[in-house]
Amino acid sequence: MAKLSTDAIHGHEHKDFLGSHIPPIYLGVIYEYIDYELGEAILTDRGNYLRYGREENPTTRALERVVSKLEKTEDSLAFNSGMAAISTLFLWRLKPGDKVVVPMELYSSVFALLNNIASKLNVKVVKVWPSAEAIVEAVDNSTSLVFLEAMTNPTNKVIDIEYLQKHLDLDKVFLVVDNTFTTPVILKPARYGAKAVVHSMTKYFGGHNDVVGGVVATSKNVSLTLWEWRRMLGGILQPFEAYMVLRGLKTLEMRFEKHSRNAKAVAEYLAEHPKVEEVMYPGLEKSPYYSIAKRIFEKPLFGGVLSFRIKGGYQDAVAFLKRLKLIKRCPSLGGTESMAVLPVKAGSQFIEPEHRKMLGITENLIRLSVGLEDAEDIIEDISQALNI
């Protein structure tokens, strides 16, 4: 069985009569019927006919094969954004009267989506402390779905999915794990019983801040049903974006390793700085999540995202951001450039204020996506912004 970087490069399985080993960008939207009367066209490896671009695309399909190999699932479906992937999954899975259990810390647009679905479909959404124990306690016979981030955004709490596997009946509860922060380089949630693994491919998979996409990696049975929903909703990832993510994935492992090394160096620097109250990064041995991460992560890597609380208040955090020179003040993560943001004004804005307070998402909390620059240059920029 090939290793991760080999699958990332060769897992698309593309072959053509010209001998190209790179899947081309198939911009054509329509594909000719083989049997016009029956409406049959070329059969894909998924078992569907290649007829129309809203349903299937060969470039997108090549990407899906790679993701399936990386996440060790039977199949995957690529969408035009991470939220398109999640919303399609929710619309397919949830029905009136269902109960959904989620941690109270997620990318808050997911909360906004769930709140809208709940109000229209009479779905009960239960938000608990982001820990495996709290999730297990909240699950009962009415629970249809559990959705969580393997590492929470933005405070980097690591949820023990091995504990979930041992204490939940995952034949009855549909477990969905967002693996965006951790990536299959260090974590493969399907090995712990997750029925679906989602990614914002905008982040580490694309890796260069130049493409938007999402994906659901899952079983063949789920993907065939979810494929129908994607077809009806029109959320398929377009071929150019698929090509860009395919290119990005080839360097995923080496990029993630550099992100992680840089982030650990930055976290260690910040942990000793007199103007920093707290650093939230599971790669620090004093982190309460270090032991969980060491046990479930496949490598001693902890990702490229950390958060830290600067001494002072909101204005002090804003002043720090304004003084940054190398690090970009913008949302997103997992790209080549280092980026800093205030979660209360970005990805955490739809989390209830009382939950933000409990979670430590304060107005002086800064989330930093550590890029691929030289670690000393990143630290120097942080130093000058903190010390003025």
Q: How far apart are CA 162 and CA 38, in angstroms?
A: 48
Q: Which two tokens stand for residue 115?
A: 């709140």
Please report the sign of the dihedral spanned by the C-alpha atoms of residue 141, residue 145, residue 150, residue 156. negative
Q: What would the pLDDT profile of 349-382 be if each residue is shown by its tens digit?
A: 888 899 999 999 999 999 999 999 999 999 999 9
Closest CA to 332 of 289, 380, 371: 371
Give the start-to-end residue ranges of the domains of the chain. 252-387
Closest CA to 233 of 94, 119, 92: 92
Residue 49: φ, ψ to 5°: -85, 140
DSSP per-residue letters across 66-93 = HHHHHHT-SEEEEESSHHHHHHHHHHHH
Q: Name the residue with tokens 């990536």.
A: 183
244: amino acid identity, one letter: M
Find how far residue 364's CA is from the centre of its chain: 25
Q: How far apart are CA 54 and CA 173, in angstroms?
A: 31
pLDDT given at position 51: 83
Q: List CB contacts of 123: < 8 A, sequence separation 6 or more.
A: 94, 95, 96, 97, 98, 99, 100, 114, 117
Degrees to nearest 5, angle at CA 293 with 292 and 296: 85
pLDDT given at position 35: 63
CATH superfamily of domain region 252-387:
Aspartate Aminotransferase, domain 1 (3.90.1150.10)
Give Cα separations from 362 to 127, 158, 365 (angstroms). 19, 19, 5
Q: How far apart are CA 201 and CA 39, in angstroms?
A: 34
pLDDT beneath 50, residues of the chain: none
42-43 and 49-50 strand pairing? antiparallel
pLDDT given at position 40: 64
Q: List CB contacts of 345: < 8 A, sequence separation 6 or more.
A: none
Neighbours of 141 (CB within 10 A): 8
What is the enclosing helix (H) or strand (E) of 118? helix 108-121
Under 8 Å between Cβ of 336 and 207: yes
Q: What pTM was computed for the model?
A: 0.95
What is the enclosing helix (H) or strand (E) of 375? helix 375-387
Give Cα separations from 170 to 174, 225, 270, 278, 333 (angstroms). 6, 19, 40, 36, 31
Sheet of strand 339-341: strand arrangement? 276-280, 305-310, 365-369, 339-341, 328-329
Give Cα separations from 183 to 128, 212, 343 (angstroms). 24, 16, 21
Under 8 Å between Cβ of 151 and 297: no
Q: How far apart are CA 168 and CA 9, in angstroms?
A: 36
Under 8 Å between Cβ of 126 and 115: no
Q: Which two tokens stand for residue 59?
A: 């470039």
Under 8 Å between Cβ of 190 and 71: yes
